[in-house]
Amino acid sequence: MTVARTLAASAAALGLSVSGLSALTVAPSIAQAQETQAATPVRESTPYTLATDQPLTVEQQAMRFDTADLSIKVTPQDKAIDAVAVLGFTAKAPLERLVVDLDTLLPISSVQIDGVELAADRWSNPEGRLTVELPQTLAAGGSVVLRVAYAGQPRVAPRAPWDGGFVWSTAPSGEPWIATAVQGEGCDIFWPCIDSPHGEPGRVDLHITVPSDLSAPSNGRFLGKVDHGDGWTTWNWSAKSPNTYAIALNVGPYEEVSGQYQSRFGNTIPLHYWHLKSDAPEKVQALFAEFPQMLDFFEANVGPFPFGDEKMGVVETPHLGMEHQTINAYGNGYKIDGRGYDWLLQHEFAHEWFGNQLTNANADDMWLHEGLGSYMQPLYARWLLGDRYMQRELANQREGLVNKYPVVSGTPKTEDEVYKGDVGPGGDIYSKGSLIAHSLRMLIGDDAFHRSLTRLVYGTDDPRPGAFTPLYRSTQDYLQIVNAVTGEDYGWFFRGYLYNAALPVLTQTRRDGRLSLQWTTGDGGVFPMPVEVEIDGRVRTVAMTGGRGEIAVPAGAHVLIDPQNKVLRQMDVIDRLQAYKAEQRAAAKP
């Protein structure tokens, strides 16, 4: 969940109406915090900084990002940070300069290479792209350490998490309550990084200094804290191969609930939830009880929790939520909505697999994060409560599709070009991606579908804890995996659903005791999707060779096409519903 998208797109993506989203997801204290946040004047970052997933520079392509050691002091009363970043790189090709990204709202006071201070004319940060001239060319295989000291007031999120940055809020008990949410804007909002999915460091160490009466849970393993005796305490963390935007600062009057989960794969996974001390204990315990249930579902249906040697971590935030690696942001206010689980927690947790372990090769492939992650919710509903609850979630998702732009364009995109529905698929990467995944599972079967997911996420059919590393994947990678798992070519399926904006149309003609069916796709390509037909209660499958098929139908027989709603397609009933809702919205405008 992320980027500066509309509330309506986010609601539709999760199978909710806009009114339903506001009613279900924002607790009073969180709503008040967001109102305070919205009233704060915006000091804007440059357009370069606000964009993310842009092409890597030549220098960045020639650098391997090994380590980031981040020391960040958070000063609530000034809404400011004071930080030092020590970054380690290895040259993959000869390097004359280093290029990283850092918001110009955070003035730089010092730049060092391998411990030696550089003169001001040896580095520059125009528009937020920090370029550092090396003292001499670094040969391929050579290593270098860049140290950057910076401080200032970072971008305030106008409306986190959709329009992100820092959230400076106040907890119900009166203490500062602070969080970062920067997926749409990128890691460079508060630390010098390579602001691209391909910029993941091998390890990030965090040293977060906050007032001693507050806590600072963050990514990865906890390495202890140091009380400096002057009213400030430093919390130390270490995370392996984190998604760049998933590095998060969380500061507040937290209490911690912890436990352990015995994985079906033999390892023990630490469970941690940092919640506000003002929360009702029974609500805290009810949410925490969902942690092992969710872990069991994902491990059974996808594979081992990717960060089991670190933790399953969740922290309560003054914004709705975000998939921060091993420290997922939770702001759903313990709402109960009849699903049988907390949808926000489950959605963000899905990104540990679809986003953090599997990372999109480009924003154009973002449906692999959001669509597959969103499909985990109907599947989880079935896991908990049965088919009726799965079908309800799928039906809610189906009603929100826009179908204005293809889910995948086939060309490189920035996140804004994907998430903003006026120029790209927007919310369709969630719900349409989920429904496409459902149609694929119905087509190739449970076993092949789950094997395809496992191979996509881990690169192997038999992943074991500690025996895999994060992967970059594209839509074409997934097609090749599906083809390999099934032994069939499903290029027609991916083309018909993902690369066309319009849904496939199934035309029906009934004449002389025969029912004729024909598929039409947005690009006119052949779409041999088989169709189940129920005739007087008996279900038959019609093979659609070449996109056409027919079946005998007795006169007067009742015919129901696709009785189990296995196939995503254009439907008049939903088109009429969407048109009606559009008319109602137009009529309600003053």
The annotation places the binding site at: 347, 351, 370
Residue bearing tokens 């009073």? 28
Three-class DSSP category at 328: strand
Task: Give the residue carrying structure tokens 């696709």.
Answer: 562
**280, 286, 290, 291: CA torsion to nearest 10:** 50
Q: Is the dihedral of CA 38, 46, 178, 153 positive or negative?
A: negative
Alpha carbons 41 and 442: distance in angstroms, whole number: 50
Give the CB-side neighbour count of residue 241, counting CA atoms within 13 A: 16
Annotated binding site for Zn(2+): 347, 351, 370
Structural contact between residues 14 and 400, judged by C-beta atoms closer than 8 angstroms: no
Reduced to 3 states (helix: H, G, I; strand: E, B; else coil), residue 344 is helix
Residue 68, token pair as written in the block = 């980031």
In three-state secondary structure terms, 489 is coil
| Strand duo 328-330 + 254-262: pairing | unpaired
Question: Rounded CA gap, 490 and 479, in Å?
Answer: 7
How far apart (Å, rounded) are the C-alpha atoms in residues 205 and 586? 51
CB 323 within 8 A of CB 348: yes
CA-CA distance, 121 to 5, in Å (whole number)?
39
User: Cα–Cα distances in Å, from 430 out to 100, 374, 437?
Assistant: 31, 6, 11
Residues whose CB falls within 8 Å of the CB of residue 108, separated by 6 or more in sequence, listed in order: 102, 123, 125, 130, 148, 149, 150
Peptide bond into 161 cis (omega under 30): yes
β-sheet with 559-561: strand ranges across: 538-542, 531-535, 559-561
Nearest-5° angle of CA 580, CA 582, CA 585?
110
Query: Pairing relation of β-strands 268-276 and 312-316?
Result: parallel
Token digits for 145? 């350490």
Rounded distance between C-alpha atoms, residue 18 and residue 25, angstroms? 11
Q: Which two tokens stand for residue 482?
A: 């599906």
Instruction: Answer positive or negative: Cα dihedral of 343, 348, 353, 358.
Output: positive
CA angle at 34 for the pair 31 and 36, rounded to the nearest 5°: 110
